[in-house]
Amino acid sequence: MVNVGILGATGMVGQRFIELLAEHPKFEITALTASQRSAGKKYEDATTWYLDSSMPESVKDITVVDTDPALVKDVDIVFSALPTENAAIVEPKFAEKFIVASNASAMRMEDDVPLVIPEVNPEYLDLIEIQQKNRGWDGFIVTNPNCSTIALTITLKPLHDQFDIKRVYVSTMQAVSGAGYNGVPSMAIVDNLVPFIGGEEEKMETETQHLLGNLEDGVVTPASFGVSASCHRVAVVDGHTEAVFIEMEDKCDMDEIHATMDQFRGLPQKLDLYSAPEKPIVIRPEDNRPQPRMDRNQEGGMAVTVGRLREDVAFENSFRYVLVGHNTIRGAAGASILNAELINEIM
């Protein structure tokens, strides 16, 4: 078993890490960290459990420690669910001796830090050696992208490999859990839609191009097609919905587009990693799917569901679809865990 710790274990993403890792066949939770006000308490006493599932018995009696690498013992991998401002300071300290699988955005776009979706760009893990050399670390940091970026990019990967994409337009309808339990006041979202999520559009645009770029001689050259995002918060608990419009360089055959997405498999599927969905992209034929309540838990929340895949007759060489991805599983904790599984398997 690989001993793992969770940084920021009392928050919503930290709780998802615990939920997903509690019965993991290769990872065992041995350390939990949080803020100073929680340090010294048993996890059960330090945490208000927000998830629908019950708090796993295996973590209830673990004593929470302050988020300090000197206090975390006998751990090989730490999963970071820290807020961005804390992660920027704390994660590099942990990376001096630990493997850090981070869900935070603080280090994502650093030149020597791999930003990885295992089905999309596992080769970016080659940056680890450069990172360790540059920074003098025995450990390293690997990051996963923004929650809305992950769902979009998984659906774009097979298309990008097979065809020439010219432009991508995406409009998101994002769940409130993406902002954390206290992130969106109820009076702001009930009977309402908020047409702005700070920094989200920029993340989607730059991260998508980065993930689908090319790594050569330790340098990532972003994909050349344009990405334009408009992001909105809606009154859904879990599950981001995205309406995607794609313009291709050449005429697209919809049967071929459908088959390319449906047949897509990546390295995690070939390696049969524990958290990997059997099908990264699940295509629904119904006119009224996908829907977050009905489709967010597809393949344990690790698959992206696509529906309404159709030609866009208003524009030449264009088509469109709607997707749903579980933002705190595939888009957050599950993404970091899959990164760690890949690292544990190949390194």
| Residues 37 and 63: beta-carbon distance below 8 Å | no
* DSSP letter assigned to residue 223: P
Q: Could you check whether the bond before residue 222 is cis, i.e. omega within 30 degrees of 0?
A: no
- Single out the catalytic residue among 147, 160, 210, 231: 147
HSE-up (13 A, CA, CB side) for residue 157: 25
147 is known as an active-site residue: yes
Number of residues written out for the chain: 347
Q: How many other CB atoms are there within 10 angstroms of residue 123's CB atom?
A: 12
What whole-number distance in Å separates Cα of residue 24 and Cα of residue 16? 13
Sign of the alpha-carbon torsion through 18, 297, 200, 112: positive
| Residues 304 and 279: beta-carbon distance below 8 Å | no
What is the per-residue DSSP string for 47-111? ----SSSPPPHHHHTPBPEES-GGG--S-SEEEE---HHHHHHHHHHHHTTSEEEE-SSTTTT-T
- Single out the catalytic residue among 160, 210, 231, 240: 240
- The long-range contacts involving 14-19, CB below 8 angstroms and separated by at least 24 positions, are 14/81, 15/47, 15/49, 15/50, 15/51, 16/51, 16/81, 16/328, 16/329, 16/332, 16/333, 16/334, 17/79, 17/81, 17/333, 17/336, 17/337, 18/55, 18/56, 18/59, 19/51, 19/53, 19/56, 19/333
Closest of 154, 175, 174, 156 to residue 165, by C-alpha: 156
240 is known as an active-site residue: yes
**Where in the sequence numbering do the catalytic residues fall?**
147, 240
